[in-house]
Amino acid sequence: MHSGAYFFYAAPRAGTAGKQVMPIEGIDYRLVFASDVDPRDGLGLECWRGEQPLFEVFRDDAGRRFVVNLFASDVPLELLEAIIPTARRELGDFPRRSAFRGVAKPG
């Protein structure tokens, strides 16, 4: 949903597919794992109904926090409650920060 370098994972975590369908109250919602590296840095789990994106749970690696971005109105609370635990589990922990932040330059 954002401009920049954005692509879908074929297999974000061991044992999962890049796209999953989750039926809730008789409606099929599609879950799509994605990575965003510019301008944001992190992983996301998007929720779609048909061709309409509803929301994403995004693991913001730079800010070291999880955020929810809504792309539609009237998103059922039950849908968010069902998907947030999946997002926390599948998006994983934040990457470790390197103790060395500089780049060695030839002298």
Average pLDDT of the segment spanning 43-67: 94
Q: Hey, where are the domains in the chain?
A: 5-91
Residue 8 reports pLDDT greater than 60: no
Residue 34 reports pLDDT greater than 70: yes
Give the model's confidence band at 101: pLDDT under 50 very low, under 70 low, under 90 confident, else very high. low
Q: What does the alpha-carbon distance between residue 8 and residue 44 come to, in Å, rounded to a whole number?
A: 10
Q: What does the alpha-carbon distance between residue 50 and residue 36 come to, in Å, rounded to a whole number?
A: 22
pTM (2 d.p.): 0.70
Q: What are the tens digits of pLDDT across the range 13-24?
A: 444 445 678 787
Residue 5 reports pLDDT greater than 50: no
